[in-house]
Amino acid sequence: MTYTNVLFVCHGNICRSPLGEFVFRDMVEKAGRTATIKTESCGISGCHQGECVDRRSAGQLSLHGISCSGKRARKLVDGDFEDFQYIACMDKDNLDWVLDMAPRDCKAEIRLLLDYCGGGEVDDPYYTGDFEKAYRDVERGCRALLERILSEESE
């Protein structure tokens, strides 16, 4: 069985990318596709390595009935470029960093998450304090990314 693997990336893997991982996972589960679509998240920096999801992001997830229990921050590693077909970055700085790190023969589609639904960046709520907006933006991007994956699988 082949899997579609999706990786969400932000700076430290405690706010935006965990939102992506768990919102997307919830959508995949509701679509009945957990057997074929897998997801994770990471950060470009190891500054929060091993830490739990920021309580404010976890709170947004909880408001929507989604748990992120057990998630620990991790840093992007070279193997991620082989393991994931889609790498969805939260902002342009994350995207530039990931593109610089990607090997020349990388086959993963590396884009901004919001490129799947019209473009833009997911503002970092760690600094803006607007975790609700980050959740809404991530949800919109995840919905469009899942639609894209499902349409490609049906071709």
Q: Which residue is catalytic, options 54, 91, 124, 137? A: 124
Catalytic residue list contains 16: yes
Catalytic residue list contains 10: yes
CA angle 63, 147, 2 (to 5 degrees): 105
Q: Which residue is catalytic, options 15, 16, 80, 140? A: 16
- What is the rounded distance in angstroms from the CA atom of residue 27 to the CA atom of residue 23? 6
Closest CA to 13 of 70, 52, 58: 52
Closest CA to 13 of 56, 45, 37: 45
Q: Which residue is catalytic, options 10, 42, 89, 142? A: 10
- What is the rounded distance in angstroms from the CA atom of residue 17 to the CA atom of residue 13? 6
Q: Which residues are tagged catalytic?
A: 10, 16, 124
